[in-house]
Amino acid sequence: MQSVTQTLSKKVLWAGRIMSALPVLLLLFSSVMKFVKPASVVEGFVRLGYPESLAFGIGIVELACTVLYVIPQTSVLGAILLTGYLGGATATHVRIGEPFYMPILLGMLVWAGLFLRDDRLRALLPLRS
């Protein structure tokens, strides 16, 4: 019985890691692009109504939140901060009338991946009682 639980736990843990990897990779890529500032990023900032000078600071915030999310001891704090960051991205897209589903989906993946890889979070928010 215990080996079934351990196998299930390993499968759940790896599913959580894989589910967490997608938003982490996208956010890391996004933050690096804010540092490099190719023409498409500068055009995007202008289209969204933000000055280009904010790109570096926003990239730092995005990178810091993502790093906190990756570290197991600070992953819950990282998820909370990423939720705020992605909420701001959602609000920005809503404000200019663009589709806003991507930041919402990333936020859902952040929390779903964390839920699967963190026993403390599953104990706090059980799906069954």
Summarize pLDDT for 73-89 with one digit per residue, the tens.
999 999 999 999 999 99
pLDDT above 50 (res 1): no
CA–CA gap between residue 26 and residue 73 (Å, rounded): 22
5 within a domain of the structure (yes/no): no
3 within a domain of the structure (yes/no): no
Summarize pLDDT for 8-30 with one digit per residue, the tens.
588 999 999 999 999 999 999 99
Length of the chain: 129
Residue type, 12: V
Per-residue model confidence (pLDDT) at position 100: 93
Per-residue model confidence (pLDDT) at position 3: 56
For the chain, the domain total comes to: 1
Average pLDDT over residues 34-41: 96
SS3 127: coil
**Contact by Cβ (8 Å): 91, 107:** no
Q: Which domain holds residue 39?
A: 20-123
71 within a domain of the structure (yes/no): yes
What is the pTM for the complete model shown? 0.89
Q: Average model confidence (pLDDT) for the chain?
A: 92
Average pLDDT over residues 92-101: 95
Distance, CA of 32 to chain centre:
15
128 within a domain of the structure (yes/no): no
Checking 107-111 for CB contacts under 8 A at 24+ apart, the result is 107/82, 107/83, 109/19, 109/20, 109/22, 109/23, 110/20, 110/23, 110/69, 110/79, 110/82, 110/83, 110/86, 111/79, 111/83
8 within a domain of the structure (yes/no): no
Give the tokens for residue 98: 């663009």
| Structure confidence at residue 127 as a pLDDT band (50, 70, 90) | confident
129 within a domain of the structure (yes/no): no
- DSSP string for residues in 43-88: HHHHHHT--GGGHHHHHHHHHHHHHHHHSGGGHHHHHHHHHHHHHH
